[in-house]
Amino acid sequence: MAYADRHDDHDAASCPLTLLFGHEVFRRAYFQRAAEETSDSERIAELIPDLFLVREMEVPDAVGDRLTACRDLGRLRAWVVRALDATDSADVFMLEQPA
């Protein structure tokens, strides 16, 4: 099941958290801090699809696969920072070759 399919019942128009995450300053602060404060690579890997969904961007299965395969905390944190400004998932990985 694709990551986004698990969230099909989410009503973004009436969800207070989604509305709050719609504010750029809050969204950046939350995701950067979450990435910096955790030492769990799986949790950091989950931040990027969450960020894409908040920004109403597509989360291809290949992105999820690549994120869950990575255990390098520094690389995952760098990807979170890139995802904050990405226009699509390719922007997150644009300077790297698949591992």
Q: How many CB atoms lie within 10 A of CB 59?
A: 20
Give the pLDDT confidence score for residue 98 in this predicted structure: 53
Global pTM value: 0.70
Per-residue confidence band for 78, with pLDDT thresholds at 50, 70 and 90: very high
Give the pLDDT confidence score for residue 74 in this predicted structure: 93
Domain boundaries, the chain: 10-92
pLDDT one-digit tens code per residue, 5-59: 555 565 656 666 666 666 777 778 888 898 999 899 999 999 898 888 888 888 8
Task: Quote the CA–CA distance of 61 and 76 in Å, as a whole number.
Answer: 17
Task: Quote the CA–CA distance of 1 and 85 in Å, as a whole number.
Answer: 26
Give the pLDDT confidence score for residue 24 in this predicted structure: 75
Per-residue confidence band for 69, with pLDDT thresholds at 50, 70 and 90: very high
Give the pLDDT confidence score for residue 1 in this predicted structure: 44
Give the pLDDT confidence score for residue 75 in this predicted structure: 93
